[in-house]
Structure 1
């Protein structure tokens, strides 16, 4: 499982990927070689179908399942749903909106965010049912603290405390046909990368982080912020519309690049090679570039 901590830099916990339809997202992720968990229902109108990885991180494709409940949640100050709505209004229903950090004390993170002037709003506590592939169910409980800035409207970060981790077997959910075992890097694009360093260093609980070379080193992954030209040069992908901060790509560790490439080809998934990386461009129900990298 992902290590959580209060003292020291927070680890990567998961990534939020807005999508219009979970059935379409499930089909796309399955074609990419991932095992997708059963649908999870939030008590505030959103729903997900997560991809869990052996390193404890996960992807959270997120859709709006109950529009009226979502609108009520926004009216009541639910930052998670409100920021999801802002993202969709600016970018449509497919994308990559948030990076989530693991913490054992979300209250302390909230206090830090408020003091530093980067709090995006009130904390959120909630529970939802979690079901494994065998049908065993348990309750998952979370406490969230949100960070952003007035200039950053296309992305946000938040600290997630897993108050109650479901006592279910995730082994089958982590056995991906593409060989993915974890997330090694998250890549963001910014017109002004240096201006994002303070927000990110505060969000990840590392005030001394300099973002040297555009990279923030978390305990279990890296978070890189590149200017558009550097992003295109590295991955051969368009950087997209100008933004102060926008999450754009996820780099997965895989056991064998050959196995991954063969699976993508067999499933008619277009992919390109950039150095040692297999690059899959964003597509419907896949709101970020997925990069697969063999790591022994």
Structure 2
């Protein structure tokens, strides 16, 4: 069984992401640049998961990376202008990306190419440290579908992000995600292999995968021009849903009440960030 790591949201500019997430009561990390032309300003949670708003900040570097076969950049570019995607990628946690690649290869679900990169991280006390990652990519479910990949940290220290995990809205973690598909049987088989976990049907006809550190729901949708698979929602656990609602009301944020949760539409494409009560709240 695999574990969630983070979800990627493409934005035209990081300033747009920073303004939107801040308006919802999230704390964001400072801008951090990748060596291949993209940059992020992440929303970190106490449970170790995070949301990665992503922007292209150096088009020449992005173009060069694409020519070199960088699948992270190439896949991001393919979905970036598609209004169907507020979320473009899901990263799963890995202790050994090459072993995970080989395991998925037995299912015919892996790309041969991997990506190794690193950068300098500025720590809260002003000191600097080096962080590095290796990514291994899952074969896409089909054209115009979100990217799934395995993310292996390759640095020897754990950055102290405790200050960044305190959020005005009371967010404590990324509780789960929702995928939507036009072919639930094929998508369930695909995700079962990727997650190395069995899904189970729920009362509303959706399929839920219970992973080590969160859930993934799969719902079936129909309609013209819909992608075969899309990542539709990120469920954020908050310590006090009533206080979170008061915050959104006070800031004039549009949201919909869905049962006991609050759904805020993404500003960058189709999808929603959905506030739900944390376990025990």
Over 3 Å counting, the alpha-carbon distance change for 1:194 and 1:152 in structure 2 is: farther
Matches within 5 A, 1:125-274: 125-149=116-140, 151-164=142-155, 167-206=158-197, 209-213=198-202, 214-228=207-221, 241-274=225-258
How many residue pairs get matched?
275
Conserved in 1, the CA contact under 8 Å of 2:140 and 2:148? no
Over 3 Å counting, the alpha-carbon distance change for 1:21 and 1:67 in structure 2 is: same
TM-aligned CA deviation for residue 272 of structure 1: 1.9
Distance in structure 1 (CA, Å) of the matches to 2:184 and 2:142: 13
Conserved in 1, the CA contact under 8 Å of 2:137 and 2:149? yes
Distance in structure 2 (CA, Å) of the matches to 1:76 and 1:218: 34
**Of 42, 46, 62, which aligns to 1:54?**
46
TM-aligned CA deviation for residue 196 of structure 1: 1.1
Conserved in 2, the CA contact under 8 Å of 1:187 and 1:249? yes
TM-aligned CA deviation for residue 151 of structure 1: 2.0
TM-aligned CA deviation for residue 89 of structure 1: 4.2
Matches within 5 A, 1:54-133: 54-91=46-83, 95-133=86-124
Name the one with the larger strand percent.
2
User: Match of 1:261, SS?
Assistant: helix
Over 3 Å counting, the alpha-carbon distance change for 1:219 and 1:203 in structure 2 is: same
Distance in structure 2 (CA, Å) of the matches to 1:293 and 1:145: 31
Conserved in 2, the CA contact under 8 Å of 1:46 and 1:62? yes
Conserved in 2, the CA contact under 8 Å of 1:132 and 1:173? no
TM-aligned CA deviation for residue 195 of structure 1: 0.6
Q: Which residue of 2 aligns with 1:20?
A: 12
**Cα deviations by residue, 1:39-70 (Å, 9 ceiling, x for unpaired):** 11101111100000000000000100111111
Mean Cα deviation higher: 71-80 or 152-161 = 152-161
Mean Cα deviation higher: 146-155 or 248-257 = 146-155
TM-score by length of 1: 0.87
Distance in structure 2 (CA, Å) of the matches to 1:173 and 1:108: 32
**Cα deviations by residue, 1:181-203 (Å, 9 ceiling, x for unpaired):** 01111001111122112321222
Unaligned stretches of 5+ in structure 2?
none
User: Match of 1:116, SS?
Assistant: coil
